[in-house]
Chain A
Amino acid sequence: MGVAYVPVARVGELTPGVMKEADLGGRQVLVTLIEGKYFAFARQCPHEEADLKVAGVLLDGPKLRCNNHSYCFDLASGECTLPQGGAPLTVLPVEERGEEICIKLEW
């Protein structure tokens, strides 16, 4: 049992609306800044594993659309909003800690 904060970017480093890649324990995640809030999510679409760095489009909401089959996800909850009930996007909590933007992992 524990908690870890894994840094993925420096404060001020993220360009709003741009997805930055990061490696967490060998898994690829994308981190972005939208309307002053940070969001982090797995780089693979949960539908058919399309690379969201290529296929992902950030939308108002904030949401993410995968351009492979147009699945849409709520970036805060990961919920698949189109089609409803689809497999959720893997999202991770993000916090600013000092000068670093970190993903919080609890187990």
Chain B
Amino acid sequence: MAYDLLIRGGRVVDGSGLPSYIADVGVKDGKVAEIGKIKDGAAKTIDAAGLAVSPGFVDHHTHLDAQMLWDPYGTCEPQHGVTSVVMGNCGLSLAPVKAGIEDAIVKSFVRVEAIPRIALEQGVKWNWHSYGEYLDNFEGKVGINVGGLVGHIAVRHHVMGEDAVERKASGAEIQKMRGLISEAMDGGALGMSTNRNDRHMREDGKPVSSRLADDNEFFTLCDVLGERNGGVIETILGRNKVEHFEWYHELARRTQRPILWQSLQHRWSEPNLWREQLDAVEPIFKAGYQAYGLSMTVPLVRHFTLKDCQIFDEFPTWKNLMFLPVEVRKQAFADADTRKKLQGELDTVKNANFHRRWDIPKVEKVFKPENQKYVGKTIAELAAMRNQAPIDAFLDLALEENLETIFWNANNGGDWNAMGEILRSPYVLVGTSDAGAHVLFGADFGYGTILLGLWVRERQVMSLEQAVHKLTFHPASIFGLQGRGLLRQGYAADIAIFDPNTVNAEEPTWANDFPANTKRMVQQAVGMHYTIVNGTVVHDHGRMTGDLPGQVMRGPLYRQQKAAA
């Protein structure tokens, strides 16, 4: 057999953004060996007719630092076509560490990333010191590729102990931190991350240690990456007004490394901020530097009925009605004077997060056959069909169905045109899955399958080729993941095979698969047929194969040292 694996007849979407084409893909020794019309056989053949064959997705914004130690797949990453993950974001990493600071790191993870303490206590064995030794833990033990950023929080505690959450660092301490970051880069870190978000505290209420760093400390540490010419700098300031972009510009100019900032998202409460952010970041790129904004693909969607919803709670009468007994509420909704009051509040209350646009909420499900014609219509369309004012059409339909009609609304990410511009922007890095974090409250493993299902297929804001590029070669290039992110001869055979007509993410569900049987939320995918890591199938139609072909993705400075040796 010429090949270990042959993927026959799929539509190759190669990650470059170039037009897709139908071809076979031959895989040998974990690499893409040939693409085209292949005559030779293989030990295993996958019929991909009618399916897309793309590079595996790169989830660059995860907090899987702990989870990957007990879950070699970072479940549910491969279920969504992800073959590579980057850990260590937002200033948080599990290395470097030394005796006595472990709990300072745990306290930070527990609060900032909402990871249950018991899972960290039972799942993290702390059998490393340096960042390189931490990465060594994954060699031969993972089902997907892993890489990571060294976190400012651990570095600061390593040098300053508990003083790290109390005071500024001295010059000597900053020099020691520089040494640790340099050592981490030599050990394979893909860059460094920091955190200045004023929400981000430790479990004990103290600010995470990186928040006590002044600009001098921060810039001096980032200089390490500039001086050594490698790695990305990932930041979370917590605020992203236009004035912050001078800071990003200075950081990018000074280090000439890619800067990642959080975040850029359409929000109805500040509907023009995304545009101002893109306008503010453009001069940085025009000047020849890189400062990518991170953006999410998952809109803040709510399915609601007028029996139970909170989207109108910023409007006093709406709010109070929504807590009244249903029969009283129905009487109030039917009352003409009350409706005038409700409309008046929508017209006059300022600074609401609810968008107050009737062209966005839709009728999702009705319960009377005669109302079936309204399914999928916006409230504005419903009003036109019924020749009513939108508020009357909305309330009357709900009343006709005993308030059981299900409506759909998207607040953040709900403006399709804005989201299209954001997601297409070359200055935007798609994906803040936060995988491994906030595990009791949600799961966004499906940021990629949602990009392909919602934004490509349903909303058509970008082509399949553009979207795959955004999920693969775009992040792989920025993070310096050598030999990954494209389907080209010689590249790693990290491959996702999916049906573009069905691919999407399911709603999150509960699982009990964290240490100490801690429950958490997981998310399955639709239409993702196979996920292949370094030439080996790890995910086959929802079933994990048990193989562990993942590799540790070490950064450029490690690779240079190894090559020199």
Contact = CB atoms under 8 A, between A and B. Distances in A.
A70 B199 contact: yes
Interface of B: 111-112, 114, 198-201, 238-239, 269, 300, 302, 307-308, 310, 313-314, 316-317, 319-326, 328-329, 332, 335, 337-338, 341, 353, 438, 440-442
B323 A25 contact: yes
Contacts of A46: 310, 313, 353
Interface in A17-73: 24-27, 29, 42, 44, 46, 48-51, 54-55, 67-72
Given A1-B341, A2-B328, 18 more contacts: A1-B335, A25-B324, A29-B323, A44-B310, A48-B442, A49-B302, A50-B441, A55-B440, A55-B441, A67-B111, A69-B199, A83-B199, A85-B269, A87-B314, A90-B313, A92-B323, A105-B321, A106-B317
B320 A105 contact: yes
Contacts of A11: none
A94 interface: no
Contacts, number: 96
22 contacts: A1-B335, A24-B324, A25-B322, A25-B323, A25-B328, A25-B329, A26-B326, A27-B308, A29-B323, A42-B313, A46-B353, A55-B114, A55-B440, A67-B114, A68-B438, A69-B199, A72-B199, A83-B199, A90-B310, A92-B323, A106-B316, A107-B321
Given A29-B323, A70-B111, A87 B269 contact: yes
Interface residues of A, number: 35
B428 to A, nearest CB: 21
Most buried by B among A48, A68, A88, A106: A68
Contacts of A24: 323-324
Contacts of B308: 26-27
Nearest to B313: A90
A6 B61 CA distance: 46
Given A1-B338, A67-B114, A83-B198, A25 B440 contact: no
Contacts of A107: 317, 320-321, 324, 332, 338, 341
Most buried by A among B200, B310, B440, B442: B310
A88 B325 contact: no
A82 B440 CA distance: 21
Given A1-B337, A90-B319, A70 B329 contact: no
Given A70-B112, A107-B317, A54 B200 contact: no
Most buried by A among B319, B321, B323, B324: B323
A4 B328 contact: yes
A67 B325 CA distance: 31
A70 B326 CA distance: 33
Contacts of B317: 106-107
A48 B302 CA distance: 10
A54 B440 contact: yes
Contact of B320 (A29, A55, A68, A106): A106
Most buried by B among A1, A49, A55, A105: A105
List of 10 A-B pairs having minimum Cβ-Cβ separation, nearest first: A90-B313, A24-B323, A105-B320, A50-B441, A70-B199, A68-B441, A87-B353, A26-B308, A25-B324, A107-B320
